Structure 1
């Protein structure tokens, strides 16, 4: 088994550029605090979770070669590997695959058994010769050595090493078996072809349930299982006797590509993006102005989805999709058995349309459900299975990434080709999807079209730029894809306001505060009413500020006379009756005492106000007011609303609970790979 020291020795042979590329490919080893030496870096690279994570994101050819290396174990060579895979030692695909695996720190000369953390039994093989021989005593080892013509060392450790080396030579094993009786050879061939999986707990404990040929047992070609009646064949012997190459698929499938008008794709992308923003607005209106009932399990039933779809004038699938994406982004959440706008909506509402679309796309990538997958229409919305979250997020990125890599503008791909492509590019991910792969891919395909990332079976420029992460190019494209938000409104004499296009966040906030929404499809329309103007005044506006603000956004720079009259009429009525909040009141027949208390500087914190000669109001609740008065030297008595006295009961105080520590949030800090590679190589 390779140790961190072995790997560190290999890392020392790399150039700064090669080590930097390796670190970039294994970002998990860059988490701060950064490794302080190549030995510490090697330890991180050999961590089980790091190896599994890296291989889980690898293509099929890389996985096949890595498993073959794991099967060969420590001491593997390119020649032995090529022979196992059935390709020449100088095969360009094999060389390229090994280069990729080496660049990720997964393989290096002579070391391979560390990959068994991914495959405890690679290629269905059992334990190695060294592991099986270790179970025998020295006498048995010497007997095997005599049968093989090997003189083992004096110690058990040396004997095991020498016999394991002999059994690891495939040519010697095949030559030996060729000399065996025919029945023995047949039996050994059957054992060699057996996969470990069917045999009991862990496979290695019971062994193959076959007769153990004494001839083979005497020569260490099989070892009797100490836990059962079966036998176990060393992995090296099984590889030598199996014959035939293990699977190696160096190239991905080459699917047929169609032709599509690139301009038509971009026009459809723009239309889909605008429609998605309009759809989210429609759902927002429904949630904000009607009661959307939530089931006990937190989902939304089919009946409620249909009602929402009818009210919004949209199909049920689109409503389901919008609700799920908005929920994933924190814009929507359940509250007291009804759907309500969440904290994330406030941030979303302040964004301009391009930012809103990117926010929705980001929420979609992490959505732990596939609402448009075939077969989901009969299920309640928001019935999420978080076990699918990692699979779905990987598949979404995979679908977009594959289209970007296998097509150029003007080319399209049939969605039926995607499962096969994904199986080659992401074998572990597609294996995790199991029987849901086809339906997940079909759902993702539809959802990406609704967001404008795909159109007519082709990836759009928006999809390519989102995948590339080019912020400047993305902003420039979105400025063209989504028309700039309107900052002005047409104010009409019938007390309506009309915006053609998408209003800016500031304009939308002003009109939503001062008027009632009538339509948000096509032209956005609001109507000013006494109730809507009163709502704005209650929110802190004044008649003068409303006139100023609305005049500033009016397209012709003036306010229609009916609207100005409405604002002034409502303004004159507003505030004629005032409601003041108080914490409690102080009552006393001694007016001079109340004068003294109200004027006291020590009681300034109570915000005392004289309401009548014998009544004063305190801004603090009764308990705080009583404490402040007593500390000021007065002797107040607490009474109920009806004037009856309150009798205080002294209770034993309990210690306050210890504060609950809040875990740190956010992504982990990563070291710079270039600087770290240079520093580590200089230290060594």
Structure 2
């Protein structure tokens, strides 16, 4: 029996549960459904499928693959399980070897012929290090030794190493021979142990050297014990407290960005991203740095709180598309803190982009823009979850040293070690900390719930960690207002209306000034309401300076009224209106007096307000009844495109679906191997239609299963084992034993019929 036939027979002998487990680990084998075990075996041996299946393997399974490949490469018989354990006894325990062999068999990357273990041919190509590197007992240079040796390396030698690190570990050269001139680059690198000599014309880059050059975590393939990162314990209350503090800052800064984009939407780049200047403007207006602004706009876009399109009202800038808030932002701003956090954190966890790449250079040496397509990385969400799940394995409150965490993840999936470079780990932890998913380097309670996709539980955990809102402030003599904690939603809205945030943290400091008081009066508050606000909610005596300032601003506010005519200005004080008409601003606005107390202008109302205030006046808006109204800009909004294309993510088949596929595969295998019974038209010709019809009618009468060949409407030839129920009107109704349902087959498309014993 040939190797392929033996592999096919081994697959056929696997139980249904084992085949289901195989298809769960290698779903590409099931698409389209293989018609027989021979087809399944052929797919399982294809190089592309094998390499894909090996991506998730750890260091121990690869060590077994290497040991088996080296043994057969020397001309020996395939090893038995006992021989394999003996070969690896100094590196791994017998139970560890057994578990790894089982994992490889479950993935159909090796199979058994009697007691012998045979590798699927292509699996040796999946080794994440040169064949034989893991079996070497000679200690490789340490990471610090390699870094020191690379520090003062001449340019030509460094270029040679970089070339091997980027293209492949082996290279051919005439300088590898022992008698080559010692001052040449290759002999110097061999002397420094930065290269390894294979023969007189071949050198190889040691795995550890390549890892350092590529910025990957350094692991030794010879060592099969899982690395143990250094742990740093923190009190759980402190972890959750720090995370809750970061959540407060996150929500405040996101609200600020929505306000900035609502007042002035940002023009989108032609490629769809957000330009450097616009990101800088947003960061400055929101009071944050550009790195944080880039992360937050990515989160807001992923949570559909900002979108690209044409907003309403339309901006004055000339551009085809803008980035602006969506209508969902309004309800989000009104929601409780924990509820506002959940969509942002979940969007980040599932984000198939790396926000930390903003500002890095692309292949053309241009900086990558925020919200640009180039930031998309298909495996970003998977790797982000892997990093957090490694933290979740630790007891609550335990931080893992980032360098040790990188080595652990590289050891667990060495073919993906480049995904866990220190740069990736550090930036993932930075983003997690900025969202309050991580505090003090350890996973918060809300972060743990988020990983389990129980968003309601995550919201509840965060609510418990957030400090209780306070309903009071401390008004200082220097016209600052200190909030000793998060304010209640109503009080926060009113304080933010009457004051500007000066600094934030555990306690937020607000600053009161003429402009902020005027803003509150513009919104319709009266002087009495402002006095009452501070009198009721300040735990300190309200300073006289604030009382005088409120009264002074309120006395001057509203003496001058503005409306639309295009716009108009009126005042109960004719002298004040005469003062306005005599000022230079009257010419700017083309003001014209039409009565002692009324003047009109062709300028828009917004411009009228701005120019009058710039000239030192304090107008207030009014409606048709003369009542003061809030005329502040409401901000632009942009509708979410209902048919916007979502990133494609394949949905893995369920266990029930795979069990059904295995049942169909067994039926197809049975049909393909059926040799007994009475066969009609086995050559596919149409010469025995009457005989085929008679055989089907006989099977329907005696309730016998038949194997039929059938050509569907697309011209695809299939084989089925069915139980005929009724034959007539040019159609066969037959019970499908796989699904338990009755299926219809057109008689003239049936190419062959065979009774099964």
TM-score (norm 2): 0.46
Secondary structure of 2:110's match?
A: coil
User: Could you tell me how far 1:82 is from its partner in structure 2?
Assistant: 4.8
The whole-number CA distance in structure 2 between the counterparts of 1:59 and 1:206 is 30
What per-residue deviation string (whole Å, max 9, x for no partner) do you get for residues 52-72 of structure 1?
A: 223112222223333444554
- Of residues 319, 324, 331, the one that matches 1:340 is 324
User: Could you tell me how far 1:265 is from its partner in structure 2?
Assistant: 1.0
The whole-number CA distance in structure 2 between the counterparts of 1:482 and 1:252 is 37
1:78 counterpart = 2:62: no
- Of residues 85, 88, 94, the one that matches 1:91 is 94
1:452 counterpart = 2:423: no
What per-residue deviation string (whole Å, max 9, x for no partner) do you get for residues 369-428 of structure 1?
A: 5444798599564175748713543432222121122x2113222223222222212322
Contact 2:240 2:444 (8 Å CA) reproduced: yes
Paired residue total: 435
The whole-number CA distance in structure 2 between the counterparts of 1:202 and 1:302 is 37
Q: How does 1:261-660 map to 2 (within 5 A)?
A: 261-294=235-268, 298-335=272-309, 336=319, 338-341=322-325, 354=338, 356-367=340-351, 370-372=354-356, 381-382=369-370, 386=374, 389-390=377-378, 392-405=380-393, 407-431=394-418, 437-470=421-454, 473-474=457-458, 476-478=460-462, 480-481=464-465, 500-501=487-488
- Of residues 629, 648, 653, the one that matches 1:670 is 653
The whole-number CA distance in structure 2 between the counterparts of 1:252 and 1:202 is 26
Distance 1:118 1:254, change over 3 A: same
Distance 1:43 1:430, change over 3 A: same
The whole-number CA distance in structure 2 between the counterparts of 1:89 and 1:418 is 22
User: Could you tell me how far 1:289 is from its partner in structure 2?
Assistant: 0.9
The whole-number CA distance in structure 1 between the counterparts of 2:522 and 2:369 is 38
1:251 counterpart = 2:225: yes
The whole-number CA distance in structure 2 between the counterparts of 1:345 and 1:317 is 22
Partner of 1:66: 65
Secondary structure of 2:399's match?
A: strand
Partner of 1:101: 104
Distance 1:676 1:345, change over 3 A: farther
Distance 1:34 1:278, change over 3 A: farther
Secondary structure of 1:268's match?
A: helix
Partner of 1:119: 125
Partner of 2:601: none
Partner of 1:260: 234
Contact 1:93 1:250 (8 Å CA) reproduced: no
What per-residue deviation string (whole Å, max 9, x for no partner) do you get for residues 294-332 of structure 1?
A: 556555455543432332233333222101223345543
User: Could you tell me how far 1:109 is from its partner in structure 2?
Assistant: 1.6
What per-residue deviation string (whole Å, max 9, x for no partner) do you get for residues 126-158 of structure 1?
A: 9xxxxxxxxxxxxxxxxxxxxxxxxxxxxxxxx
The whole-number CA distance in structure 1 between the counterparts of 2:389 and 2:370 is 27
The whole-number CA distance in structure 2 between the counterparts of 1:380 and 1:95 is 47
Secondary structure of 1:389's match?
A: coil
Q: Which moved more, 1:349-358 or 1:437-446?
A: 349-358
Gaps in structure 2 of 5+ consecutive residues = 133-162, 178-198, 203-219, 310-318, 471-485, 511-515, 525-563, 566-644, 671-757
Contact 1:65 1:248 (8 Å CA) reproduced: no
Contact 2:16 2:659 (8 Å CA) reproduced: no
Partner of 1:52: 51
Relative to total residues, which structure has the larger helix share, 1 or 2? 1
The whole-number CA distance in structure 2 between the counterparts of 1:344 and 1:48 is 48
Contact 2:176 2:201 (8 Å CA) reproduced: no
The whole-number CA distance in structure 2 between the counterparts of 1:11 and 1:107 is 11
What per-residue deviation string (whole Å, max 9, x for no partner) do you get for residues 602-623 of structure 1?
A: xxxxxxxxxxxxxxxxxxxxxx
The whole-number CA distance in structure 2 between the counterparts of 1:99 and 1:205 is 36
What per-residue deviation string (whole Å, max 9, x for no partner) do you get for residues 20-55 of structure 1?
A: 443433344466x65666555545544544432231
What per-residue deviation string (whole Å, max 9, x for no partner) do you get for residues 340-362 of structure 1?
A: 23698689679875554343234
The whole-number CA distance in structure 1 between the counterparts of 2:174 and 2:82 is 30
The whole-number CA distance in structure 1 between the counterparts of 2:339 and 2:301 is 17
Partner of 1:130: none
The whole-number CA distance in structure 2 between the counterparts of 1:668 and 1:467 is 19
Relative to total residues, which structure has the larger strand share, 1 or 2? 2
User: Could you tell me how far 1:113 is from its partner in structure 2?
Assistant: 4.9
Distance 1:40 1:282, change over 3 A: farther
Gaps in structure 1 of 5+ consecutive residues = 127-196, 212-229, 234-245, 487-498, 533-572, 575-661
The whole-number CA distance in structure 1 between the counterparts of 2:359 and 2:100 is 39
Partner of 1:178: none
Q: What is the Cα-based RMSD across aligned positions, in Å?
A: 5.6
The whole-number CA distance in structure 2 between the counterparts of 1:347 and 1:24 is 41
User: Could you tell me how far 1:287 is from its partner in structure 2?
Assistant: 0.9
TM-score (norm 1): 0.50
1:26 counterpart = 2:26: yes
Secondary structure of 1:390's match?
A: coil
